[in-house]
Amino acid sequence: MNPISNLENQFSFESKDIPEKRQKALNYAINTLEYYVKLDHSVAVLSDLADNKSYIFADSFGSFFEMNISGYTTIDSIWEEDIYKRIHPDDLFQRHLLELEFFNFLKSVPPDERLNYSTKCHIRALNSKNEYQYILHRSFYMLKSSQGGLWLAVCLYNYLFEKTAAVNSIEGKIINTKTGESFYADTYENCRELLTIREKEILVLIGKGVISKEIAVMLNISINTVNRHRQNILEKLNAANSIEAVRTAEALNLL
CATH of the domain at 175: 3.30.450.20
For the residues 12-28, what does the mean pLDDT come to? 72
Domain containing 196 — which CATH number? 1.10.10.10
Are 217 and 112 in the same domain?
no
Q: Rounded distance, CA 144 to CA 60, Å? A: 29
Are 146 and 54 in the same domain?
yes
Are 201 and 176 in the same domain?
no
For the segment 123-175, what is each residue's pLDDT rounded down to a tens digit? Answer: 999 998 999 999 999 999 998 877 777 889 999 999 998 776 656 789 999 99
For the segment 202-212, what is each residue's pLDDT rounded down to a tens digit? Answer: 999 999 999 99
Q: How confident is the model at residue 118 (pLDDT cuts 50, 70, 90)?
A: very high
Number of domains in the chain: 2
Answer whether residue 218 is part of any domain: yes
Q: Rounded distance, CA 243 to CA 105, Å? A: 25
Q: Comparing 116-125, 166-175, 214-223, which segment has the lowest mean pLDDT?
A: 166-175
Are 159 and 50 in the same domain?
yes
Q: How confident is the model at residue 14 (pLDDT cuts 50, 70, 90)?
A: very low
Answer whether residue 2 is part of any domain: no
With residue 136 as reference, give the H or E element that holds it. Answer: strand 132-144
Q: What is the pLDDT of residue 164?
A: 64
DSSP for residue 31 = H
Q: CB pairs under 8 A, 24+ apart, for 7-11? A: 7/107, 10/111, 10/147, 10/148, 10/149, 11/106, 11/107, 11/148, 11/149, 11/150
Q: Is the pLDDT of residue 219 over 70?
A: yes
Answer whether residue 4 is part of any domain: no
Answer whether residue 1 is part of any domain: no
Q: What is the pLDDT of residue 243?
A: 93
Are 50 and 112 in the same domain?
yes
Q: Convert 237-255 to b/e letters by CB count within 10 Å (16 or more is b).
A: bbbeebeebbebbebbebe
Domain that holds residue 206: 192-251
Are 212 and 99 in the same domain?
no
Q: Rounded distance, CA 46 to CA 26, Å? A: 10
Q: Comparing 62-66, 142-146, 155-159, 219-223, which segment has the lowest mean pLDDT?
A: 142-146
Mean pLDDT of all residues in the chain? 88
